[in-house]
Chain A
Amino acid sequence: MEHKFKPEQMTKKYFTPWVIVLAAIALNGLAFLAMRFFFGIGSVTNLNNQFPWGIWIGLDVGAGVALAAGGFTTAALGHIMHRDKYEVIIRPALLTAMLGYTFVAMGVFVDIGRWYYIWHPLIMWNGNSALFEVGICVMIYVSVLYIEFLPIVTERFIGRVNLPGFLNRFNLLVDGLLRKLDRGLDKTMFIFIIAGVVLSCLHQSSLGTLMIIAGPKMHPLWQTPVLPLLFLLSAFSVGFPMVIMESITASKSFGLKPETDVLSSLSKFVAPLLGIYLAFKIGDMFIRETFVYLAEFNSTTILFGIELVVGVIIPLRMFLSEEVRNSVPGLYIASMLVIFGVVMNRFNNFVTAYNPPYATESYFPSIGEISVTLGFVALEILIYRLFVKIFPIISVPLKNVGLKAKYAIRGGLK
């Protein structure tokens, strides 16, 4: 029998022992962040004139953008290709993308030396710069994500506006405005949904163009003119595993039954996507004959091997197995491996592969850099948890409903 789902607010209490742990990690990160703003980037990071970019760019920005790919891949599947079955995962994926990109922007904000000029790319353009393209696209896409999220806000508050104190008299007015906004959004949402997918394809690939200009400073195992394509394909393949991982985690955390049949169907897309990525990655290696570097045995080639074997080949094999796709632990582990592989790939591209010509010692992230990166991740999870309690994001099975009441998700064409 087909189950009917409807997004609901989570009712479980916010604080658990894990939440306390996450809060501690977040606070630790914020403390180091305060140091960065008072005493400069040099006081917190191991960056120097040889290594201008570290994990704040490699992980917070590079991996952060890739892991938020669940937003546009599920939007493409659910809204553009109209596979209604997947609507239950669109909202969680949208929330992750929205928070993910917000934290990417935060990562950029803390990494750039002159943070108060972060708005400069809006009016000072350099069309030659891959970074400019990434910057502009991310700025627009964050706005698009917020707009895509608005219908959830209107749905939450229409008919339930209850302002505190004397503001009470504006309840009706606010409600009316929300209804107006909701109607407007309903008619125009498809514009934003398509724009979101286009913008994502653009900047996911341009993120790969970033390191090309470093030329011979980048290890040949990673430096290739097809980097933009590899970045785009790996973003495609990490989108659904990210959604699967989150969905299972959220179900566990809120004591819900995992939406196994939806996740299993979704996981069928992963192996082909990973396979295409792997084919291009290996093909590029053979065309440029970079496999010769694998004969060397050092930390660089080991990291390359881990990225490719643990992060791509093993999960690819796992997602090909029906048994794995139908089991929750199997899905979870395989998805985690894909996520790990893409994080490793971004780390390798921005950090491992970068070999400046005059470096006397290699870069390793400082305690401060690691703290801030972990702090941001913790903060993101905490805000996610807060949002699913405030807004109807996670779908729960409905009991005794007719066909009419089938889940109604706003956005897309009705």
Chain B
Amino acid sequence: MSQNRREFLKTFAAIGATAATLTAVTPKVTKGKSTRPLSPNRKGVLVDTTVCIGCGKCEWACKTAHDIEPGSINDYNTKLTDNSQRRPSENALTVVNQIDISNANSGKIKLQCMHCEHPACESACIVGAITKQENGAVTWDTDKCIGCRYCMVACPFQIPAFEYHKALDPKIVKCDFCINRTTEGKLPACVEICPVGTLTYGTRDELVIEAKRRIGKDPDKYFNQVFGEYEVGGTSWLYLADKNLVDGVFPKLGTNPAPGVSESIQHGLFAYFVPPVALYALLGGVMWLSKNKEKNEGGH
């Protein structure tokens, strides 16, 4: 019996040592990825919805750049008059809708991934397949993704789409900010083709200044808000409109980064592995004490 107890203690000490080693080694893995500083030169796009004519050429260019069958470029301008609120999907990474569905004369708005400054999808992804790149783009890695769709649950703008009808290699599909083009020094496909200058590509910080300049110059024309400046901690894509876009086009969101609460709980529960290790030690103690107690009382 006593030998068993010694054995127990010995093994227990070994576990303690292992756990301590683990604790010393692993915190860098559990450190929040999204706490790393964002590059000051990260890019963004300013969408001035008051300029957009709804020609849909950006949709066509986007599909062409992403190997999705685009069809004829002339068919696109009719798409947004069908009175439906279309959503980006696995077949279209961006869509242009009327801001007011029932009013054909209302402004037009281009929708796609907002490329959040602190993306919920990046925080949620079980394998880290989604990354906020240095240039601001939020990209998806086909070699990592397991297709769990937690990014879709997490996204406050409900953007990522999934290829539900593919049995093999279904992908998470969303705007990748044309990362392949921008690394070659080209403009994103939608920005390049826009015939009226709705889309302005540039450094995010400068775009915020530019947006405010436009509002200041023509305060009657614009609703006094740059959507995306502060929403969910800020987004790379910024919107100007003649009306409030919240509740009509975008959901009502706070200014805190979307992953904030979840990450602080997660890191609280696992702060340097102290809570699990402490629980383990506590249970071990209870087990040992209750065994001894029983031995003293039961005497077997």
Q: Are B167 and A358 in contact (CB under 8 A)?
A: no
Give Cα distance in the complex from A197 to B128, angstroms: 28
Q: Does A121 contact B (CB under 8 A)?
A: yes
Q: Are B294 and A214 in contact (CB under 8 A)?
A: no
Give Cα distance in the complex from A135 to B283, angstroms: 23
Q: Does B262 contact A (CB under 8 A)?
A: yes
Known contacts A131-B148, A216-B252; is A211 also within 8 Å of B153 by CB? yes
The residue that B266 contacts in the complex, of A38, A45, A130, A215, with Cβ under 8 A, is A130
Q: Does A13 contact B (CB under 8 A)?
A: no
Q: Are B87 and A216 in contact (CB under 8 A)?
A: no
Which residues B250-285 have CB closer than 8 A to chain A?
251-254, 258-259, 261-263, 265-267, 269-270, 276, 279-280, 283-284
Q: Are B125 and A213 in contact (CB under 8 A)?
A: no
Q: Does B133 contact A (CB under 8 A)?
A: no
Known contacts A114-B147, A194-B280; is A50 also within 8 Å of B158 by CB? yes
Q: Does B161 contact A (CB under 8 A)?
A: yes
Render A58-74 as a binary contact track against B, CB cut-off 8 A, 1 for contact.
Answer: 00000000000000000
Render B105-136 as a binary contact track against A, CB cut-off 8 A, 1 for contact.
Answer: 00000000000000010111111110000000
Which residues of A are found within 8 Å of B258, using beta-carbon distances? 213, 215
Shortest C-beta distance, A392 to chain B (Å), equals: 22
Q: Are A357 and B158 in contact (CB under 8 A)?
A: yes
Residue of B whose beta carbon sits closest to that of A196: B283
Q: Does B213 contact A (CB under 8 A)?
A: no
Q: Does B156 contact A (CB under 8 A)?
A: yes
Q: Are B286 and A187 in contact (CB under 8 A)?
A: no
Interface size on A, residues (CB 8 A): 73
Q: Are B276 and A49 in contact (CB under 8 A)?
A: no
Shortest C-beta distance, B158 to chain A (Å), equals: 5
Which residues A120-138 have CB closer than 8 A to chain B?
120-121, 124-133, 135
Which residues of B are found within 8 Å of A132, using beta-carbon distances? 126-127
Which residues of A are found within 8 Å of B261, using beta-carbon distances? 212-213, 215, 225
Shortest C-beta distance, B288 to chain A (Å), equals: 8
Which residues of A are found within 8 Å of B294, using beta-carbon distances? 82, 84
Known contacts A128-B259, A132-B126; is A213 also within 8 Å of B120 by CB? yes
Binding site for A on B (CB under 8 A): 4, 7-8, 11, 15, 29-34, 85, 87, 89-90, 120, 122-129, 144-150, 152-154, 156-158, 160-167, 169-170, 251-254, 258-259, 261-263, 265-267, 269-270, 276, 279-280, 283-284, 286-287, 290-291, 293-294
A-B contact pairs, 14 of them (CB 8 A): A37-B167, A40-B164, A49-B158, A80-B287, A81-B287, A82-B294, A108-B148, A114-B145, A126-B123, A129-B150, A130-B265, A131-B124, A206-B266, A413-B8
